[in-house]
Amino acid sequence: MKNRLRELRAARRWSQADLADRCEVSRQAINAIETERYDPSLPLAFTIADVFGLTIEEIFQPDRPEATDNPL
């Protein structure tokens, strides 16, 4: 799963520790999510979205080729 965490965090000038504090998780967790080594649980994804004031879809995107009109 791709995400815009680093970009959004940089725009707000937050460190990983700042974001970790706001989401009440460890800095390693934020680092792992940013580097796409770990996909957060749905509750954590909601918390992250709340912290940034965005929806989950605006932060996380599925890591798959663009969907086409023809599913086959």
Partner 1 sequence: MEGVLYIRSMANQIQQDQLTRAARRAVLIDGIPVSTLGVIALALGSNPDQSTAQKAWWIATTIVFTLAIAWVLLRAFRRADEYLRRIQLESMAVAFAAVLVALQVATLLDAAGVVRLQQLAQVILLGGVATWLLIADLRTRLNR
Residue 13 engages partner 1 in binding (rule: CB under 8 A): yes
Question: Distance between CA atoms of 52 and 55, rounded to whole angstroms?
Answer: 8
Closer to partner 1 by CB, 25 or 49: give it: 25
Question: Distance between CA atoms of 8 and 71, rounded to whole angstroms?
Answer: 32
Tokens 């004031």 -> residue: 53
Residues 31-60 that bind partner 1 (CB under 8 A): 31-33, 37-38, 40-41, 44
Would you tell me which residues interact with partner 1 (CB under 8 A)?
Answer: 13-18, 20-21, 24-29, 31-33, 37-38, 40-41, 44
